[in-house]
Amino acid sequence: MASQICVGIGRTRHQMMIAEHQALAQKGAELVELRVDYLSRTPDMKRLLADRPTPTIVTCRRVTDRGRFRGTEEERQTILRTAILSGADYVDIEADIAPQIRRYGKTRRIVSHHDFDQTPDDLEEKYAQMCKLDADLVKIVTMANRAEDCVRMLKLVEGAQVPTVGFCMGEKGMLTRVLCGAFGSPFTYATFNKERELAPGQFSFDEMRKMFRYEQITRKTILLGVLGDPVAHSLSPLLHNTLMRKAGFDGVYLPLRVSASELSETLDAYEQLGFSGYSATIPHKESVLQKYPMCDDFVRAIGAANTVYRDQAGHWACSNTDYQAALDAILSDLKPGESLVGKRVLLLGAGGAAKAIGMAMQKSEAITVVASRTLKRSQALADQIGGRAITWENRGSEFADILINCTPVGMHPNLNESPFPIHWLREGMLVFDTIYTPERTLLIKHARDRGCTTVTGVEMFIRQATAQFRLFTGLKLSLDDVRTIFRRLISPVRHDDLLADPSAADGNADNGQVSDS
């Protein structure tokens, strides 16, 4: 039987809890958890469970377990016993009180343990003790503070003797919520929507079912992801998962938050889970190349990579799809027959993306000036590409035909910032912002107000993602097809429809655009 998605409902009123239960059933939910500790008055179990549209778990979490029940422990246990007497399909019982809650009727016992601070060193011992507590299912959930915590949890679930729901909380544990079913968990947990997260790191029901295709993931599914810090803003999981579904490719693409200091150990841990490829974003574009140095001479010259994949021999290799994507995005907005030869370019930033774009400008014979907050890094990049470095404070004094922002200034959530004040912009400049979330950054808005030609990060994102997809899957997609899909995905009007049916982007699930390469 395929693993299910259990959707948690936490509302203060019985009426709203029942209404959401009905709405979830209509959306296809097959298992729902009623967090009765959220209710503002004593739960009416008969009302909550009568005519329930799906199998139901009743949970009443105490404050010490990050729940909201503020009555006495005796009152809480009475609520759990009442749920059992009322015929709940499942009741969640914490391990320390399991001996006090007797089995009765057909209600199945979920014996649970939560650790909101860590994944303890004695995880396996705690789990073994829980298996002795007359459990139909064991649920063990811990906080992931490092990638190895995720590996330990998934391996525990995979080797479980008793049906076990196990995953990690927090941003570093999000991948386990998506992968636990493939490792043997009977179900995972999701929230009704992103605005009502009941535990750290939860995805919404729609994300789990439509974007990640949780119920179709198996141990044979190809694992991919985006490495970044932060990474929650990334639209790569939405796009890549949609493209894989369109192409009929059995893969899942995950957001992987990894700090700069933990990259190497994290990649070593993920190796145990069988990952096959990564997109690398800030701050990992340079360090990922140090971890996996196999690449072509051009990528080595750039000194930064945005794609890590397994080659045909199964070895890790690095590529940089930013280079061509950025170059093509800029060229697409020049006048017919116009080139970059002799154009004066002001490049803001000196990180991985700036290195790739700087090399593209050098190859195109543009005259490039580099400005970043660290003059030493600016000078190093300028020397590498045959350009000139200036201080960050003097960036407004340069006369440039093209301004390219490769800094994170203006990226979500800092939407009211710009790396280049509006009064420094002049009519006729081409302004290219590599940020794509949001697409219309403050810099882009100011540039349009000043009569500049603008290129948004979305165009570069689409082009580099299309190239990445081919490296990850061996399949080639039409750039126009990917652009259409992405535009529909980020449209609030069509977003849910396209998640449910990505072929709606062009009216054809294949359209002859997917081919082996």
Which residues are known to be catalytic? 114, 139, 285, 322
> What count of residues does the chain have?
517
Residue 496: closest CA among 217, 202, 209, 225: 209
CB 372 within 8 A of CB 407: yes
Instruction: Please report, for the chain, how many H helices and E strands are present, in that order.
Output: 18, 21
Residue 184: closest CA among 1, 357, 358, 337: 1
Cα distance between residue 433 and residue 439, in whole Å: 9
β-sheet bridge partners, residue 137: 110
Q: In what order do the strands lie in the sheet with 251-257?
A: 251-257, 222-228, 275-280, 307-310, 316-319
CB 406 within 8 A of CB 435: no
HSE-CB at 513 with a 13 A cutoff on CA atoms is 23
Cα distance between residue 301 and residue 363, in whole Å: 12
CB 112 within 8 A of CB 166: no
Q: How many other CB atoms are found less than 10 A from the CB of residue 471? A: 17
Tokens matching residue 515: 């081919």
Q: DSSP letter string over 84-131?
A: HHTT-SEEEEEGGGGGGS---TTPEEEEEEEESS---TTHHHHHHHHT
Cα distance between residue 187 and residue 176, in whole Å: 12
β-sheet bridge partners, residue 370: 347, 389
Torsions phi, psi for 256 (to 5 deg): -125, 100
Phi-psi region of 87 (alpha: psi -120 to 50; beta: other; left: phi over 0): left
Cα distance between residue 363 and residue 361, in whole Å: 5
Run of H or E residues at 33: strand 31-35
Distances (CA, A) of 119 to 64, 123, 142, 144: 17, 7, 5, 6
Question: Amino acid identity of 468?
Answer: Q
CB 21 within 8 A of CB 13: no
DSSP SS3 for 419: coil
Q: How far apart are the first and last CA of the chain?
A: 35
Tokens matching residue 500: 């449910």
In eight-state DSSP terms, residue 513 is: -
